[in-house]
Structure 1
Amino acid sequence: MPVYVTDKPLNLTSHDVVARARRLLHTKRVGHTGTLDPLATGVLVLCVNDSTKLVQFMEQDSKDYLGYISLGAGTKTLDAEGPISETGEVPSLNAEQVQAVLNGFQGPQMQVPPQYSAIQVNGQRAYAAARAGEHIELPARPVLLHELTLLGLYGSVQAAPRTFAPDPEGRWQVADTGRTFGLPEPLGEFPTLLVWARVGSGTYIRSLARDIGAALGVPAHLSGLVRTRAGRFGLEGAVTVEALETAPGLDDLKALSLPILAATPDLALKLRQGKRPEWAEAGRFLVTLGGALVAVADGDGQTLKVVRAWA
Structure 2
Amino acid sequence: MPVIPVDKPLGLTSHDVVNRARRARGTRRVGHTGTLDPLATGVLVLCVNDSTKLVQFMEADSKEYLAWIALGGTSPTLDAEGPLTEVVPVSPPSEEEARAVLAGFVGPQAQVPPQYSAIQVGGQRAYAVARAGGALDLPARNIVIHALELLGISNRMAESPRTFARGSGGWTPDPTGRTFTLPEPLGEFPTLLVRASVSSGTYLRSLARDVGAALGVPAHLAGLVRTRVGRYDLADSVSVEDLAEAEGFPDLAALDLPRMEADEPLARALRQGKRPKSAVVGRHVVTRDGELVAVVDGNGKELRVVRAWTGA
Q: What is the rounded CA distance, in whole Å, between the counterparts of 1:277 and 1:202 in structure 2?
A: 35
8 Å CA contact 2:67, 2:193 repeated in 1? yes
**Are residues 91 and 156 of structure 1, via their aligned partners in 2, closer, same or farther at CA, if it must alter by over 3 Å?**
closer
Report the counterpart of residue 72 of structure 2 in structure 1. 72
Report the counterpart of residue 199 of structure 1 in structure 2. 198
Structure 1 runs not aligned, ≥5 long: 279-284
CA-CA distance at 1:258 after TM superposition = 1.0
Q: Deviations over 1:238-290 (max 9, x none)?
A: 00011111011111101111112221112112212222223xxxxxx1x42x3
Give the aligned residue type for 1:229: R
* Residues 1:305 and 2:304 are matched in the alignment: no
Q: What is the rounded CA distance, in whole Å, between the counterparts of 1:9 and 1:56 in structure 2?
A: 25
The 5 Å alignment of 1:76-225 reads: 76-169=76-169, 171-225=170-224
Report the counterpart of residue 36 of structure 1 in structure 2. 36
Q: Deviations over 1:85-137 (max 9, x none)?
A: 00112145211110000000000111110000000111111000000111111
Give the aligned residue type for 1:295: V
Q: Deviations over 1:4-24 (max 9, x none)?
A: 010000000000000100000
The share of aligned pairs that are identical, in percent, is 62
Secondary structure of the residue aligned to 2:159 is: coil
Report the counterpart of residue 253 of structure 1 in structure 2. 252
Secondary structure of the residue aligned to 1:158 is: helix
Q: What is the rounded CA distance, in whole Å, between the counterparts of 2:271 and 2:69 in structure 1?
A: 51
* Residues 1:294 and 2:293 are matched in the alignment: no
Give the aligned residue type for 1:190: F
Q: What is the rounded CA distance, in whole Å, between the counterparts of 1:250 and 1:108 in structure 2?
A: 32
8 Å CA contact 2:92, 2:155 repeated in 1? no
Q: Deviations over 1:211-251 (max 9, x none)?
A: 00010011000000000000111001000011111011111
Secondary structure of the residue aligned to 2:227 is: strand
Q: CA RMSD in A?
A: 1.0
Secondary structure of the residue aligned to 1:84 is: coil
Report the counterpart of residue 282 of structure 1 in structure 2. none
Q: What is the rounded CA distance, in whole Å, between the counterparts of 2:194 and 2:168 in structure 1?
A: 18
Bigger mean CA offset, 158-167 vs 19-28: 158-167
Give the aligned residue type for 2:264: P
Q: What is the rounded CA distance, in whole Å, between the counterparts of 1:247 and 1:49 in structure 2?
A: 14
Report the counterpart of residue 267 of structure 2 in structure 1. 268
8 Å CA contact 2:91, 2:190 repeated in 1? no
Report the counterpart of residue 281 of structure 1 in structure 2. none
CA-CA distance at 1:172 after TM superposition = 1.3
**Are residues 204 and 151 of structure 1, via their aligned partners in 2, closer, same or farther at CA, if it must alter by over 3 Å?**
same
Give the aligned residue type for 2:51: S
8 Å CA contact 2:80, 2:221 repeated in 1? yes
Report the counterpart of residue 238 of structure 2 in structure 1. 239
Q: What is the rounded CA distance, in whole Å, between the counterparts of 2:271 and 2:54 in structure 1?
A: 18
Give the aligned residue type for 1:309: G
Secondary structure of the residue aligned to 1:44 is: strand
Q: What is the rounded CA distance, in whole Å, between the counterparts of 2:109 and 2:272 in structure 1?
A: 44
Report the counterpart of residue 56 of structure 2 in structure 1. 56
8 Å CA contact 2:119, 2:125 repeated in 1? yes
CA-CA distance at 1:139 after TM superposition = 1.2
Q: Deviations over 1:51-109 (max 9, x none)?
A: 11111110101100000001110001000000000011214521111000000000011
Give the aligned residue type for 1:226: V
Secondary structure of the residue aligned to 1:21 is: helix
Q: What is the rounded CA distance, in whole Å, between the counterparts of 2:176 and 2:260 in structure 1?
A: 42
8 Å CA contact 2:112, 2:139 repeated in 1? yes
Q: What is the rounded CA distance, in whole Å, between the counterparts of 2:276 and 2:212 in structure 1?
A: 56
**Are residues 92 and 174 of structure 1, via their aligned partners in 2, closer, same or farther at CA, if it must alter by over 3 Å?**
closer
8 Å CA contact 2:155, 2:190 repeated in 1? yes
